[in-house]
Chains A and B, each alone.
Chain A
């Protein structure tokens, strides 16, 4: 066999020990990409899938047709939710190291995607998240203690001890149950949206996957069904560049943008700066209005960077330069919104420090309460009988027998 063949293997820009390289990243200047009418045909707005919608420039000024002109208090709420998401993530990551929770997945660097989108959507819009969208929960006002109890699989765990940490759900908050299997939620969101259209509801569905997960067949199913039935849905690909250790080129990102998958199906594709709170908010509002008025679905690619490990089970220093994130050309979403607010005269370092202290205290207090309901290792514990419930709506005879067997087994042990 020759050592070199005609087979193309996508290149990974930088591995450990090499210098970070983002020269391949295609950027558009802030304010440069036009904002078409929401009724525009997908194939007439191909530039949206190719360019990069940005509102905030490097100096923190908001520019161009996508500028959403949000009121400063709304921006401050966005900043608060992003910061709370980050502090929560940071604390949970550290607690996992101490062994109190078995597993965690942080969203460092991707906070704007979840928070800006949750704020741009209506509370009755149904969200089908991936495992890195905790900002959706935070922005929809979920008490942190409920998330923590899930992470602890304790007596107040919403999942009754059945799910890995971070695979939350929230019926009341219209957030669907998170699966550990990738991309399955994408076509389910389309089905939900089809039902909304059939039932005459004007709520829309939104779903999130990573760029790596766009390789799954369910990505195709989602886009196809969304297109065929013009389902009121927003399909988000969070391109954070990394699928565990695998660079996005292996998901097909080398040849064209992920947003460009949309127009091939007749779906509007928009590539947006995922670290730009204002741009994400504006693009989401555009897509939501488009969906709500029957103009069709939108595929949004959020160009961002996974700042932390994939999960607590991997060490990114083994597959990418240790300081890669610091070189990411689109910066940090929290720093950028903070800079913008300060430029507007609506924020200061002092207020930021005070908010950080307040939110840290909020996280600490929630944790204290959460562990009082038990941890994976410390009582009180969930009753193992719960294992047999909810497999079916009513417990069938074979599960009743097994439930009794376990009870007998435990009384012997």
Chain B
């Protein structure tokens, strides 16, 4: 085992896959010589050369399209979009092309492309460097959508994504790159080395796509969440002295309904939390599914915790961010603690 933060873990996944599979190529803005603005691709171009680790023009649509063409010609491209907020120029290529190539050609063509992109707030990025657009990808048939919450899962899921023959949109919660974050910006940063999931095997392993994780077992209430919010929710539940069961969704598509619903059926109470805006967010899909499957087990209405339905404002970062207070309020309602 080695101590890795999420950046090292992702770098290790790319390194291993570039080494194992000559078809793997990595492309994106600033990812070659410089090693990426978040250092995830550090050293890879030096090791594997400029033909496998390609710096690209600033054109997300071109990056995705080129990756699709490369994928159709037998390569396994891993494209980086520097911030999820910049992914929209590539949205047509992702939605109309990447997601549907296998379907429309009845399996004759496919492009096994992984699109990595840092998402989420809490880094003073304002409305152009803080978005969590997972729902608008989860809504598209033909895409797998993944978001890890710790270094171990990040590496295992990224290797699984690269090895997957379907396109995977891989969201990296950038606030978690250097350490788990419980939502309190005034507390000293905690490094991953102090966290059990900062222990990462140096070699090849996978975390299966399509499987949620029970991040913490409990019997009082189920919290269904992913990304940065896994850690915020843990802290909020602890603060209330609740034995919350925390389900880390990890994969939005395909969704592990079984793990989620089994937990809610047991606890009878559920809070859903994500950083993204609430309206038509991924939480709505979770809530609807849980309601359909677990209605007769529910002791209280499901509550959603999310970012407000506004752009992510620079000056009001912590008023926007769904921190422990907002999670705790929802937990109190669902637990009927204030009655």
Contact = CB atoms under 8 A, between A and B. Distances in A.
Nearest to A191: B69
B166 interface: yes
B97 interface: yes
A258 interface: no
A276 to B, nearest CB: 30
B105 A169 contact: yes
B69 A184 contact: no
B96 A225 contact: no
B110 interface: yes
Contacts of A190: 65-66, 69
Interface centre among B59, B61, B104, B109 (most CB of A within 10 A): B104
A225 B57 contact: yes
Interface string A198-233: 110100010000000000011011101100110000
A391 B62 CA distance: 24
Interface in B230-282: 253-255, 257-258
Contact of A191 (B68, B106, B107): B68
Interface in A69-104: none
B184 interface: no
A33 interface: no
Contact of A195 (B69, B106, B108, B144): B69
B297 interface: no
A160 interface: yes
Contacts of A189: 69
Contacts of A188: 65-66, 68-69, 72, 97
Interface in A131-183: 158-160, 162-163, 167, 169-171, 176-177, 179, 181
A176 B106 contact: no
Interface residues of B, number: 46
A167 B255 CA distance: 32
B45 to A, nearest CB: 14
Interface stretch (A40-48, A112-120, A311-319, A392-400): A392-400
B101 interface: yes
Contacts of B329: none
A341 interface: no
A228 B66 contact: no
Contacts, number: 145
Given A169-B108, A398-B257, A187 B103 contact: no
A176 B101 CA distance: 10
B93 A184 contact: yes
A126 B68 CA distance: 14
B158 interface: no
Interface in B289-322: none
B97 A199 contact: no
B70 A159 contact: no
A349 interface: no
B256 to A, nearest CB: 9
A159 B142 contact: no
Interface in B47-68: 51-52, 54, 56-57, 59, 61-62, 65-68
A196 interface: yes
A267 B126 CA distance: 39
A187 B105 contact: no
Contact of B65 (A171, A195, A221): A221
A192 interface: yes
Nearest to A193: B69
18 contacts: A158-B106, A159-B104, A163-B104, A169-B108, A170-B108, A184-B96, A188-B72, A189-B69, A192-B70, A194-B66, A195-B70, A198-B51, A217-B61, A218-B65, A218-B92, A221-B65, A224-B57, A396-B210
Interface of A: 126, 128, 158-160, 162-163, 167, 169-171, 176-177, 179, 181, 184, 186-196, 198-199, 201, 205, 217-218, 220-222, 224-225, 228-229, 389-393, 396-398
Interface of B: 25, 51-52, 54, 56-57, 59, 61-62, 65-75, 89, 92-93, 96-97, 101-110, 141-142, 144, 165-166, 210, 253-255, 257-258
